[in-house]
């Protein structure tokens, strides 16, 4: 798999993501700069990593969505390229209208840094094929604005098209209000585009890829991606 | 050409307003040989403030042990640096932002984090962890909930955004902090041991470069404010608090580290307290050169700023750098790429003077050497804290289980989850032990097996009762916490928080604490490599508890060897160290018996060393499943903390040693003790006996409850519920 990570001013989980991709593929991903206007040739996956692009001083991801590289990412996605947005990257994908909806402030109006559990609603995407359908895995969440919102019609359409990929759940897989710490509509933690190739999620599976650090719950996302492009 | 001088009367009056004592102002006159200009008076007053000059504390700080074969840079640089092997240096420091955090909690705490980060990355280190040591008043004191909330949000808001994990720290509550909370922030970074950047300017004619954010009118005289007591009009000091911009800091980190990959930098220092003044004076002073600045070139956020305002501004996220000639364009390109200001604002000279020009006028012209050498230095009078009489027998009013449930829910022992859930502890992908999982945080170094262990410690109530014993205990506990995860403790940073040094009893506390710390540092080979002093922590004449907060750093050769404190079933529990049932100044005494009395537990440094070295060796041999040092609350609280962390119970079968009351045995706070969970308790105890280390089998882990020797049973779930409920309820 040939992967690249985009760094924006204020991005701060690009190294975590590079580590996870390297764990799965054995190869360091290319690092791109937000002012780049073209992507490297032959790329399989572009990642928009977590962080506080432009300090989150405007709506999270809104400034980054206007970066020069975003036109190239739009074109890449339109050609069927795979795009992964994590946390601030998910917010950028929504701001860039590559995914529907928006990420609002957490319901409790506080930054939340804790483990959460994610139920895999679809295991037939390139991003979740490493998991069994219905599997539950643990991931770190660390965000102030992860409260997924879309209007009811959009949510119904997302459900009907099977685009809800991950939901916040209890460790035994119950999708309950108690498991939904940031207040997301319908416990949505991650969703994909209609062609399943653009995927955004709030939690950080890239922080659970090493048994010596915090377990390997998130590793199947990256090994699955590597297998998809093997 | 001389600057526009102040009228003599006006100058003397202003000097007093700026915090200079009359005799200090007389020294200014002697150095200049004339009345100062306004900007000059501003420079003298901040450089000679307690905050910048350490004038009351230096004579004592000099006595601290600062050397060891692994120390690369001790106190005197922006932060301390130690060799941790693999060609790497750990660079770290702790610093207070107490006064600003009281006036404006969010920004005060946020800029505290920002400032300490800059002290570390200015030396070429990538920050890998933040910790914070917080002391608050009682939550029902006026404004206190807002202060706690603002401080926690401020630390999180800054640390989360810059992307440095906040991995540990400590919190105490005591009414002595009602009018003066403490916010001590610590940053640890990693640099190649042979590429550490220092601050001494060199090279006559070399350009002086201003980096980072623009200069505004915020924080003017912040250092002076931090060198005075508070009174009822503290609200009026709000404009002296700086405003943080963590986004700019993140860009500054990346730009500086990128430039540091080249050979362009001669010297670099952040603009912290006293901003452009302290950075330019200290860099030129250390290098023995002169410096000329033209303030017309300083990037400014507001129009019409005067030289005085620019020199005294404490606007955040700024650095001063001396470049090699000819590297300006390359360096500027890096800073422009990161969308930061870059301006050449002056040159180094051979005059030995600092000369400030603004709009073609000389605003200051001061000889640098006397600014430092003639700085006030006080050996202030001290009065020893009287020793407290021994504590007599104290009856147990409620039994062990009831006391335990109350203790684990008390503010000083309850779960800190409400706080750490607001701090990103995982960013960077290297956090192997996060808050609550172990006695010290453990963070692996990227691309290495090696890991650092980090902790902050101090028990202020011990320090009040006996400052020397308290100073010894703070250092010993930091050493113990690092040991308890398997790390080899290497060095400390200290953050000395005390009241008004002009009061002999306060200065006596300071001197005694330093004596105790020195003894412990020496005995444990645990030198001080950096630190910070915060005095005048008083409001309306009431001082805080003496709080010498210790930040300790240790190393693990292999992150896989680290152990946490969470209990798992099927282990033998063994107590390491001797128990005498010391209840003086214990939390049991305060929370259950309602007394703050007696001397604190004595620290036997030889026993600390022997017991700790033994425990560490067993951990590194892979024989220990979990380990926890015993401190606040004593043995039963320690076991309960292990049980709650692992959601596993234990059957405790040990009988108290002869002559000890059960409550004294289970809640006494004797030092130099650990509880370990091991697979073979008998073998562990035999090894301890061979090493001359006291070891006592306590029982066995398993089940869902703590079962006490007398049959009393309390479920771990019930303890956890009490432990977790306190802080959310206090902050609701």
Catalytic residue among B51, B73, B358, B628: B51
- The mean per-residue pLDDT over the stretch B229-234 comes to 58
Q: How far is CA B624 from CA B130, B168, B671, in A?
A: 28, 23, 20
| Residues of chain B positioned with their CB less than 8 A from the CB of A110 | 153, 422
- The per-residue pLDDT for B670 is 98
Does position B687 have pLDDT exceeding 60, yes or no? yes
- Residues with Cβ within 8 Å of residue A92, at least 6 apart in sequence: A48, A53, A61, A64, A65, A70, A85
Q: pLDDT tens across B475-492, in order?
A: 999 999 999 999 999 999
Does position B692 have pLDDT exceeding 90, yes or no? yes
- The per-residue pLDDT for B272 is 83
Structure tokens at A10: 């204020």
| Residues of chain B positioned with their CB less than 8 A from the CB of A31 | none
Does position B604 have pLDDT exceeding 60, yes or no? yes
Q: How many residues does chain B have?
A: 732
Confidence tier at B540 by pLDDT (50, 70, 90): confident
- Residues with Cβ within 8 Å of residue A153, at least 6 apart in sequence: none
Does position B237 have pLDDT exceeding 60, yes or no? no
- The mean per-residue pLDDT over the stretch A172-176 comes to 97
B418 in A contact zone (CB under 8 Å): no
- The per-residue pLDDT for B240 is 67
How far is residue B224's CA from residue B239's CA, in Å, rounded to a whole number?
13
Does position B235 have pLDDT exceeding 60, yes or no? no
How far is residue B609's CA from residue B617's CA, in Å, rounded to a whole number?
12
B420 in A contact zone (CB under 8 Å): yes
How far is residue B299's CA from residue B303's CA, in Å, rounded to a whole number?
10
* Among B679, B587, B582, residue whose Cα is nearest residue B641: B587
* Among A44, A42, A51, residue whose Cα is nearest residue A16: A51
Cβ–Cβ pairs < 8 A, chains A and B: 92
Confidence tier at B280 by pLDDT (50, 70, 90): very high
A173 in B contact zone (CB under 8 Å): no
How far is residue B510's CA from residue B518's CA, in Å, rounded to a whole number?
12
- DSSP H helices, B260-367, are 275-287, 307-312, 328-337
How far is residue A224's CA from residue A228's CA, in Å, rounded to a whole number?
6
A213 in B contact zone (CB under 8 Å): yes
Which pTM value belongs to this model? 0.96
* Among B47, B86, B74, B327, residue whose Cα is nearest residue B194: B86
Confidence tier at B231 by pLDDT (50, 70, 90): low
Pairing verdict, β A164-169 and A188-192: antiparallel
CB contact under 8 A, A52 and B421: no
Report the gap between the CA of A149 and the closest CA in chain B (Å): 22
Pairing verdict, β B674-678 and B624-629: antiparallel
Total Cβ atoms within 10 A of residue B476: 31
CB within 8 Å of chain B, chain A residues 126-145: 140, 142, 144
Q: pLDDT tens across B45-63, in order?
A: 999 998 888 999 999 999 9
* Among B236, B57, B197, B27, residue whose Cα is nearest residue B118: B197
Catalytic residue among A87, A94, A116, A192: A87
Q: Among A13, A51, A213, select the one facing B444 at the smallest CB separation.
A: A213
| Residues of chain B positioned with their CB less than 8 A from the CB of A213 | 429-432, 444, 559
Q: How many residues does chain A have?
A: 230
Structure tokens at A190: 């991650």
B428 in A contact zone (CB under 8 Å): yes
The three-class DSSP label of residue B223 is helix
Name the residue of chain A whose CA is nearest to B430's CA. A213
How far is residue B197's CA from residue B48's CA, in Å, rounded to a whole number?
26
Q: Among B157, B163, B429, select the one facing A51 at the smallest CB separation.
A: B163
- Catalytic site residue B97? yes
Total Cβ atoms within 10 A of residue A127: 29
Does position B403 have pLDDT exceeding 90, yes or no? yes
User: Side-chain half-sphere of B337: how many Cα atoms within 13 Å?
Assistant: 18
Confidence tier at B253 by pLDDT (50, 70, 90): very high
A215 in B contact zone (CB under 8 Å): no
Whether the CB-CB separation of A34 and A8 falls below 8 Å is answered with yes
B126 in A contact zone (CB under 8 Å): no
Residues pairing with B641 in the sheet: none
Q: How far is CA B664 from CA B392, B579, B584, B658, in A?
A: 12, 9, 10, 12
Torsion, Cα B683 B689 B693 B694, to 10 degrees, reads: 80
* Among B286, B311, B301, residue whose Cα is nearest residue B362: B311
Whether the CB-CB separation of B215 and B299 falls below 8 Å is answered with yes
Does position B228 have pLDDT exceeding 70, yes or no? no
Q: pLDDT tens across A16-32, in order?
A: 999 999 999 999 999 99
Q: How far is CA A204 from CA A23, A98, B681, in A?
A: 15, 20, 40
- Catalytic site residue B663? no
How far is residue B281's CA from residue B368's CA, in Å, rounded to a whole number?
7
B160 in A contact zone (CB under 8 Å): yes
| Residues of chain A positioned with their CB less than 8 A from the CB of B162 | 12
How far is residue A92's CA from residue A78's CA, in Å, rounded to a whole number?
16
Total Cβ atoms within 10 A of residue A80: 8
- The per-residue pLDDT for B407 is 98
Name the residue of chain A whose CA is nearest to B434's CA. A214
CB within 8 Å of chain B, chain A residues 10-49: 10, 12-13, 15-16, 19-20
Whether the CB-CB separation of B91 and B127 falls below 8 Å is answered with no
How far is residue B305's CA from residue A62's CA, in Å, rounded to a whole number?
34
- Residues with Cβ within 8 Å of residue B43, at least 6 apart in sequence: B277, B281, B311, B354, B364, B366, B371
A51 in B contact zone (CB under 8 Å): yes
- Residues with Cβ within 8 Å of residue A121, at least 6 apart in sequence: A162, A164, A165, A166, A167
How far is residue A71's CA from residue A36's CA, in Å, rounded to a whole number?
10
In angstroms, how far is CA A18 from the centroid of its own chain?
14
Pairing verdict, β B650-652 and B705-707: parallel
- The per-residue pLDDT for B109 is 97
Report the gap between the CA of B435 and the closest CA in chain A (Å): 11
Does position B67 have pLDDT exceeding 90, yes or no? yes
Does position B652 have pLDDT exceeding 70, yes or no? yes
- The mean per-residue pLDDT over the stretch B622-629 comes to 98
How far is residue B530's CA from residue B186's CA, in Å, rounded to a whole number?
11
Whether the CB-CB separation of B95 and B115 falls below 8 Å is answered with yes
Residues pairing with B707 in the sheet: B651, B713
> Running DSSP on this structure, what letter comes out for residue B300?
B
Q: Among B245, B423, B431, select the one facing A213 at the smallest CB separation.
A: B431
A110 in B contact zone (CB under 8 Å): yes
Query: Lowest-confidence range among B122-131, B210-219, B540-549?
Result: B210-219
* Among B487, B457, B455, residue whose Cα is nearest residue B603: B457
- The per-residue pLDDT for B236 is 56
User: Side-chain half-sphere of B324: how many Cα atoms within 13 Å?
Assistant: 9
| Residues of chain A positioned with their CB less than 8 A from the CB of B434 | 214
- The per-residue pLDDT for B363 is 96
Mutation target for B interface from A23, A209, A213, A218: give the one with most B CBs within 10 A.
Answer: A213
Compute the mean pLDDT over every residue in chain B, rounded to the nearest whole number.
Answer: 95
ipTM above 0.95, yes or no: yes
B157 in A contact zone (CB under 8 Å): yes
Total Cβ atoms within 10 A of residue B75: 20
- Residues with Cβ within 8 Å of residue B457, at least 6 apart in sequence: B133, B170, B474, B477, B478, B481, B549, B550, B552
Pairing verdict, β B695-701 and B650-652: antiparallel
Query: What is B171-194 written as a DSSP string?
Result: EEE-GGGTT--EEEEEEEEEEETT
At which residue do the structure tokens 């039963």 appear? B636
- Degrees (nearest 5) of the Cα angle B85, B87, B93? 70
- The mean per-residue pLDDT over the stretch B683-712 comes to 97
Report the gap between the CA of A95 and the closest CA in chain B (Å): 19
Count Cβ atoms within 10 A of the Cβ of residue B425 and give its class: 0-12 exposed, 13-18 middle, 19 or more buried: buried
Query: What is B533-565 written as a DSSP string?
Result: EE---EETTEEPPPEEEEEEEEEES-GGG---S
- Catalytic site residue A143? no
Structure tokens at A57: 């001083």
CB within 8 Å of chain A, chain B residues 248-277: 248, 250-251
CB contact under 8 A, A52 and B247: yes
Total Cβ atoms within 10 A of residue B717: 13
Whether the CB-CB separation of B153 and B441 falls below 8 Å is answered with no
Q: What percent of chain B has pLDDT over 90?
A: 92
Structure tokens at B81: 């640096």
Whether the CB-CB separation of B218 and B313 falls below 8 Å is answered with yes
Report the gap between the CA of A88 and the closest CA in chain B (Å): 11
Residues pairing with A142 in the sheet: A113
A111 in B contact zone (CB under 8 Å): yes
- The per-residue pLDDT for B3 is 81
How far is residue B292's CA from residue B9's CA, in Å, rounded to a whole number?
29
């Amino acid at each position: 798999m040939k992967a690249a990570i985009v760094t924006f001013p204020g991005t701060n989980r690009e190294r975590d993501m590079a580590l996870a991709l390297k764990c799965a593929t054995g190869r360091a991903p290319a690092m791109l700069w937000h002012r780049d206007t073209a992507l490297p040739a032959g790329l399989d996956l572009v990642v928009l990593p977590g962080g506080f692009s432009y300090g989150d001083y405007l709506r999270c991801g809104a400034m980054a969505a206007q970066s020069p590289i975003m036109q190239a990412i739009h074109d890449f996605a339109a050609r069927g390229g795979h795009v992964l947005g994590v946390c601030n990257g998910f917010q950028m994908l929504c701001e860039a209208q590559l995914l529907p909806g928006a990420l609002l402030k957490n319901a409790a109006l506080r930054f939340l840094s804790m483990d959460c559990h994610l139920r895999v609603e679809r295991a037939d995407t390139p991003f979740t094929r490493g998991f069994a359908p219905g599997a539950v895995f643990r991931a770190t969440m660390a965000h102030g604005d992860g409260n997924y919102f879309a209007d009811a019609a959009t949510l119904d359409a997302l459900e009907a098209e099977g685009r809800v990929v991950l939901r916040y759940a209890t460790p035994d897989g119950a999708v309950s209000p108690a498991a939904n710490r940031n207040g997301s509509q319908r416990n949505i933690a991650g969703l994909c585009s209609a062609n399943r190739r653009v995927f955004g999620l709030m939690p950080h599976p890239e922080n659970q890829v090493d048994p010596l650090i915090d377990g390997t719950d998130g590793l199947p996302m990256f090994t699955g991606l590597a297998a998809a492009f093997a | 050409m001389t600057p526009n001088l102040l009228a003599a009367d006006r100058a003397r009056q202003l000097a007093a307003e700026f915090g200079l004592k009359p005799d200090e102002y007389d020294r200014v006159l002697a150095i200049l040989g004339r009345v100062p200009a306004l900007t000059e008076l501003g420079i003298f007053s901040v450089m000679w403030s307690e905050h910048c000059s350490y004038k009351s504390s230096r004579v004592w700080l000099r006595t601290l042990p600062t050397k060891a074969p692994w120390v690369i840079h001790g106190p005197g640089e922006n932060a301390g640096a130690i060799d941790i092997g693999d060609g790497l240096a750990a660079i770290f420091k702790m610093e207070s932002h107490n006064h600003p955090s009281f006036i404006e909690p969010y920004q005060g705490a946020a800029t505290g984090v920002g400032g300490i980060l800059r002290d570390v990355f200015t030396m070429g280190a990538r920050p890998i962890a933040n910790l914070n040591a917080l002391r608050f008043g009682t939550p029902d004191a006026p404004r206190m909930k807002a202060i706690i909330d603002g401080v926690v949000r401020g630390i999180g808001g800054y640390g989360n955004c810059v992307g440095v994990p906040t991995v540990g720290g400590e919190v105490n509550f005591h009414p002595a902090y009602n009018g003066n909370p403490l916010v001590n922030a610590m940053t640890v970074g990693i640099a190649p041991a042979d590429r550490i950047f220092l601050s001494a300017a060199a090279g006559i004619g070399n350009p002086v470069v201003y980096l980072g954010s623009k200069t505004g009118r915020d924080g003017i005289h912040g250092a002076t404010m931090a060198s005075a007591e508070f009174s009822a009009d503290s609200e009026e000091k709000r404009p002296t608090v700086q405003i943080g911009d963590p986004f700019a800091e993140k860009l500054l980190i990346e730009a500086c580290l990128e430039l540091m990959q080249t050979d362009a930098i001669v010297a670099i220092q952040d603009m912290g307290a006293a901003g452009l003044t302290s950075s330019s004076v200290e860099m030129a002073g250390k290098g023995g050169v002169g410096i000329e600045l033209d303030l017309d070139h300083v990037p400014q956020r507001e129009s019409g700023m005067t030289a005085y305002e620019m020199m005294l501004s404490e606007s955040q996220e700024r650095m001063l750098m001396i470049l090699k000639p000819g590297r300006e364009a390359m360096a500027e390109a890096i800073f422009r790429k990161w969308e930061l200001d870059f301006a050449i604002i002056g040159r180094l000279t051979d005059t030995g003077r600092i000369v400030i020009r603004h709009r073609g006028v000389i605003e200051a012209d001061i000889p640098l050497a006397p600014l430092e050498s003639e700085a006030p230095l006080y050996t202030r009078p001290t009065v020893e804290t009287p020793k407290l009489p021994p504590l007599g027998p104290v009856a147990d009013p409620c039994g062990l289980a009831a006391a335990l449930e109350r203790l684990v829910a008390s503010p000083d022992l309850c779960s800190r989850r409400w706080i750490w859930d607001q701090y990103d502890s995982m960013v960077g992908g290297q956090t192997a032990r996060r808050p609550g999982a172990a006695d010290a945080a453990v963070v692996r170094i990227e691309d290495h097996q090696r890991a650092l262990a980090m902790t902050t410690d101090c028990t202020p109530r011990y320090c009040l009762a006996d400052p020397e014993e308290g100073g010894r205990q703070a250092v010993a506990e930091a050493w113990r916490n690092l040991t308890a995860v398997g790390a080899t403790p290497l060095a400390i940073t200290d953050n000395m928080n005390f009241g008004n040094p002009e009061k002999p009893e306060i200065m006596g506390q300071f001197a005694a604490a330093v004596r105790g710390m020195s003894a412990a540092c020496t005995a444990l080979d645990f030198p001080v490599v950096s630190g910070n002093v915060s005095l005048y922590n008083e409001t309306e004449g009431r001082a805080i508890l003496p709080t010498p907060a210790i930040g300790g750093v240790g190393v693990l050769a292999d992150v896989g060897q680290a152990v946490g404190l969470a209990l798992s079933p099927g282990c033998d529990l063994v107590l390491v160290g001797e128990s005498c049932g010391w209840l003086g100044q214990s939390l049991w005494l305060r929370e259950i018996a309602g007394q703050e009395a007696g001397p604190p537990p004595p620290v036997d440094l030889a026993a600390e060393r022997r017991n700790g070295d033994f425990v560490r060796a067993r951990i590194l041999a892979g024989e220990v499943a979990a380990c926890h040092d015993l401190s606040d609350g004593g043995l039963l609280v320690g076991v309960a903390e292990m049980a709650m962390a692992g959601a596993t119970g234990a059957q405790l079968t040990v009988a108290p040693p002869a002559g000890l009351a059960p409550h004294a045995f289970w809640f006494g706070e004797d030092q130099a003790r650990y509880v370990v969970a091991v697979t073979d308790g008998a073998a562990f105890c035999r090894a301890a006996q061979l090493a001359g280390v006291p070891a006592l089998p306590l029982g066995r882990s398993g089940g869902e409850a703590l079962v006490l020797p007398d049959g009393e049973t309390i479920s771990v779930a019930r303890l956890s519920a009490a432990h977790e409920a306190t802080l959310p309820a206090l902050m609701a």
